[in-house]
Amino acid sequence: MVADSYDVVVVGAGGDGPVAAWKLAEAGLSVLILEAGPFHGNEKWPNPHEEPGGEASSSVEDLSGELLDEQFTTREFEMINNLVFGPADHERGFWFRKFPGDGAILQCAGVGGTTLHYTGCHPRAYPASIDEQGHWPIDYADLVPYYQEVEAMCEVAPAPVTAKEQLFFRGAEAAGWELIEDLNVTEPG
């Protein structure tokens, strides 16, 4: 339902925008999400741009991921038009990014944003990137409960350990280093 006004307008329906909208709506505010990119569809409405007027759905059955598996692959030549380093409108220039070294960022424009290909990675910000910035109105510790809520909801777990990493951990342990299992790491180690 479209209203004449909203308490909050969230710009972007990538990974963070819908979460912010959800929490604001949960608090009783009316929220509108604006997204410049496309809606890639779901199993109930697989071609939203070719067949307008379909019914959007967020039921588990309609979000199995099979459609996204068809749309987003690991083959680079198939993904050039899906994973763009810039806006959904390919006629516009790329977003500016400054890298300390060689690197690339592939970003998706549209509902879901870069989470459409993010490989399930939910990294936290480094504490220093927040605590050592004078313009931030909060501390890293203020964010921890929210990190924990998202990590519980998304069932965040460490990546599987390879044989090389196991050997590294054993060597580190033999050298007197302890593995820090806690996700609330505030000191390097």
**Mean pLDDT, to the nearest integer, of 8-23?**
88
DSSP 97-138: ---SSS----B--STTGGGGGSTT--PPPPHHHHHT-TT-SS
Question: Given a cut of 90, is residue 17 above it in pLDDT?
Answer: no
Query: How remote is the C-alpha of 139 from its chain's centroid?
Result: 22
Give me the pLDDT at residue 132, please: 86
Top mean-pLDDT range of 52-56, 88-92, 111-115, 144-148 = 144-148
DSSP H stretches of helix in the chain: 17-26, 66-71, 76-79, 127-131, 140-153, 163-174
CA–CA distance, 152 with 16 (Å, rounded to integer): 16
Q: What is the pLDDT of residues 95-153, one digit of tens each?
A: 555 666 666 666 667 787 777 766 666 778 878 888 888 888 999 899 889 888 888 87
* Residue 13 pLDDT: 86
CA dist 3 and 24 (Å) reads 16
